[in-house]
Structure 1
Amino acid sequence: MAGGEDRNVKALKDVWKRPENALCADCGKPDPDWASYTLGVFICLSCSGIHRNIPSISKVKSLRMDHWEVAQVQFLAQHGNGLGKATYEAHIPIYCYQPTYADCQVLREQWIRSKYERKDFTEPGRYVLYSDGLKEGILWKRGRDNGQFLPRKFILSEKDGCLKYFIKQDAKEPKINIKIDVINATFQPAKVGNPNGLQITYLKDNKTRNIFVYHENGKEIVDWFNAIRSVQFHYLKVAFPMASDNEIKSRLTRNFLKEGYMEKTGPKQKEAFKKRWFTLDHRRLMYFKDPLDAFAKGEVFVGSGENGYSVKPGLPAGMQGSFSWPHGLTIVTPDRDYLFTCETEREQQDWIAAFRRVIELPMTPQEYAIEAYFKVRS
């Protein structure tokens, strides 16, 4: 009996060690140590919790702690993450966002439900976000002045290439009409204070504007997110016909590189440092008095190293400004230096690493145009 059990444990370890099973089947996290014995896929602890919420589809066990029956191990051996992806991810639209372990709960849960529960990607054309090129519905939007979340009608039009929202459901004219090519959308549950919170950012007169929304239904808010990506993808396919699908995909919605509080001083570098919320959105460093402000109080363009931009730890020698946080950093640009302080050394290092990732990248023609605008504006 013991010998048979040992062979079963060894068989389980052999399947587990296959290269195809080295990453979580759902979020890509390394070294998954759970598996679904009804789907035959290897998953991480976090994704296993989501699988437990759909017991009619997936039943999970720990690969380290639970006892595995011979038939269950054989089932895993016949399946695995390679076959799982070939089955459940066979026809993913290129615009559809595939979350990683760094993404929020609602994105990962709806991805897993989309794959295994709804089987959205097993057949071509099955994943339908909207019909007739329109998606219309109610999202709860945060008021710019009072901070209250109120229901607002939103319409996304592929034909018009825009996202509109209306103060009243029967209103004929939208409050705002946003062209799809200037939109970014990123999930912000902590900032919005709702697990399904979404931040929609767009440019108006080349200045950044934020809208914060949520929907109580997780599938609905993720559908809106992917619908925005879909309209963007089709718009960019027309605008840039020579670009590959993967090039266009890389230009769809993006997560911010870094967010958090820093202190800053003014251009003369003699003013007292003030605490501000900073958001690094690729080459735009924006700062806000409050994380939920609709408009940025200011923006800094972060160019490439070959164009004279750099970041370094510390402040200039003899800096006499009034600041309360001890860990300084300086962004050097061709026109002036920007000085910031961070509360902890870890935050300072994280900000420097984020800036360096941007500075190391060559600038695109579009980014040269943005840089020129910043110089004219300043």
Structure 2
Amino acid sequence: MLFPHRHLYPGLINPLRWNHGHKALCFSGLCSELRHFPWGNLPLLLIPLFIPSDPDWASSTLGVFICLSCSGIHRNIPSISKVKSLKMDHWDDAQVQFLAKHGNAVTKATYEAHIPIYYYQPTYNDCQVLREQWIRAKYERKEFTEPGKQLPYTDGVKEGILWKRGRDNGQFLPRKFLLSEREGCLKYFTKQDSKEPKISVKIDVINATFQPAKIGNPNGLQITYLKDNKTRNIFVYHKSGKEVVDWFNAIRSVQFHYLKVAFPIASDNEIKSRLTRNFLKEGYMEKTGPKQREAFKKRWFTLDHRRLMYFKDPLDAFAKGEVFVGSSENGYSVQKGLPAGTQGNFSWHYGLTIVTPDREYLFTCETEADQLGWIAAFTSVINQAMTPQEYAIEAYFKFKS
């Protein structure tokens, strides 16, 4: 039987077959047809918020298609979203017509009408706290439906308590943090009544990225900054997912407005691309020393664009060492395997070599998948041309070595 509401879906697959339940329509027919249709050609109705490749769920109250990982978040907000399966649940005529009338594009136009340019919009690959607070900000708190709303991350100043990991003892203790757009810095204080901060960091050298697995807390945030051109890590969390995401977006807000002044002719999108970033890759590898005869030691590695850092422990405040990864046109490359005749005790046998103008860096990975993943990450960096600022960083690395 042809889909009875097909006139509501112009440009969709024709014909659409439907299965009937007892007194309601089953959505599995539509789902089955969509499964074989290229996403790029779907009408605006079906553009998903997180663009999963194969959505099996929809919210019958919001009128949006959602991915599996976000369906659980929607279920936890039953007052605004009722989740139904496209394959297993029955949809009555009113629900079908509501979905046809709305869809992801129409819903987006309502609930995402006034998102600040700096606000981080997660994808289905992002961590739970980012996705949950994004969904709650849109549908529960309606933060983006009107222009000029006063929100916790829009004032240019934010003050509050975050639980910070001690640099030496590893204990998480409450610390007062102060973010100021006027001063262009982030400060933290060891005591709430302290007048002088323990650390004050300029906003243009700060990065922030969520690291729930590494920190061991679902709201874990890693803040990094450069001190004497070396990376310093600060690990924090807050018991409230909303509060820690507000801090994250407040940092992005202050960064954005700082860079707008520093680079007045740059477009908003250019500045947005220079805000907080996720690390390209992290994980364990083994490394040897410059003589390539030392024993290979297991270390935690972080690739932050052109900085490859290695740590004895993933939660160390400072890296044991940093390597600059330049571009292919400047003599940098990554090779699969280790040089012939490599000596040293290594327990992992999937090697790779980073070639720089000055020396070779040898690493081993536990699995072939890890090896290929690291090679792909290094290749993506090496294939990019270097900026003038990166040439200056490269010169510093050569000078200190």
The TM-score bracket by the shorter chain reads over 0.9
Structure 1 residues 125, 12: CA separation in 2 closer, same or farther (over 3 Å shift)? Answer: farther
CA 1:22–1:106 in structure 2 vs 1: closer, same or farther (change >3 Å)? Answer: same
Corresponding residue for 1:267?
Answer: 290
Structure 1 residue 128 displacement after superposition: 1.3
Distance 1:216 1:12 in 2: 43
Matched letter for residue 58 of structure 2: A
Deviations along 1:74-108, one digit per CA (max 9) or x if unpaired, are 11011101101111111110100000111100000
The aligned residue for residue 30 of structure 2 is 13
Question: How far apart, in 2, do the equivalents of 1:44 and 1:12 lie?
Answer: 18
- Match of 1:120? 143
Displacement of 1:133 after TM fit?
2.7
Unaligned runs of 5+ in 2: 5-17
Take 1:155 and 1:375, find their aligned partners in 2: how far apart are those partners?
A: 35
Does 63-72 or 282-291 show the bigger shift? 63-72
Structure 1 regions of 5+ residues with no counterpart?
none
Match of 1:80 among 89, 98, 103: 103
Aligned AA (2:44): E
- Residue 225 of structure 1 corresponds to which residue in structure 2? 248
Residue identity over aligned pairs, in percent, reads 80
Q: Normalising by the residue count of structure 1, what TM-score does the alignment of the two structures yield?
A: 0.96
Are positions 1:165 and 2:182 aligned together?
no
Secondary structure class of the residue paired with 2:232: strand
Alpha-carbon shift at residue 130 of structure 1 (Å) = 4.6
* Structure 2 equivalent of residue 24 of structure 1: 48
Summarize deviations over 1:38-66 as a string: whole Å, max 9, x none.
Answer: 11001011111101111110101010111
Equivalent AA in structure 2 for residue 20 of structure 1:
L
> 3-state DSSP class of the match of 2:115?
coil
Q: C-alpha offsets along residues 157-178 of structure 1, whole Å, 9 cap, x if unaligned?
A: 0000000000000000000001
My pick for the range that moved more, 363-372 or 2-11, is: 2-11
* Candidates 69, 74, 82, aligned match of 1:59: 82
Question: 152, 156, 162: which one pairs with 2:175?
Answer: 152
Q: CA RMSD in A?
A: 1.9
* Match status 1:196 vs 2:219: yes
Do 2:153 and 2:247's aligned partners in 1 also have CA atoms closer than 8 Å?
A: no
Tell me by how many angstroms 1:126 deviates: 1.9
Matches of 1:128 and 1:375, distance apart in 2 = 45
Give the drift of 1:304: 0.8
Amino acid at match of 1:197: G
2-side partners of 1:85 and 1:19: how far apart? 14
Count matched residues: 377
1:317-328 map, 5 Å: 317-328=340-351
Separation (CA, whole Å) in 2 of partners of 1:66 and 1:188? 36
Q: Which amino acid aligns with 1:13?
A: L
Counterpart-to-counterpart distance in 2, 1:22 and 1:62: 15
Report the counterpart of residue 300 of structure 2 in structure 1: 277
State the match for 2:127 in structure 1.
Answer: 104
Name the SS of the counterpart of 1:255 in structure 2: coil
Residue 51 (structure 2) pairs with residue 34 (structure 1): no
- Corresponding position of 2:395: 372
Structure 1 position 10, deviation (Å): 7.6
Deviation sequence 1:211-240 (CA, Å, 0-9, x none): 000000000000000000000000111111
C-alpha displacement of 1:257 = 0.5
How far apart, CA to CA, are the structure 1 residues paired with 2:112 and 2:300?
39
TM-score by length of 2: 0.90
Deviation at 1:345, TM superposition (A): 0.5
**Corresponding position of 1:344:** 367
Q: 1:315 aligns with which of 338, 355, 373?
A: 338
**1:22 and 1:32 in contact (8 A); partners too:** no
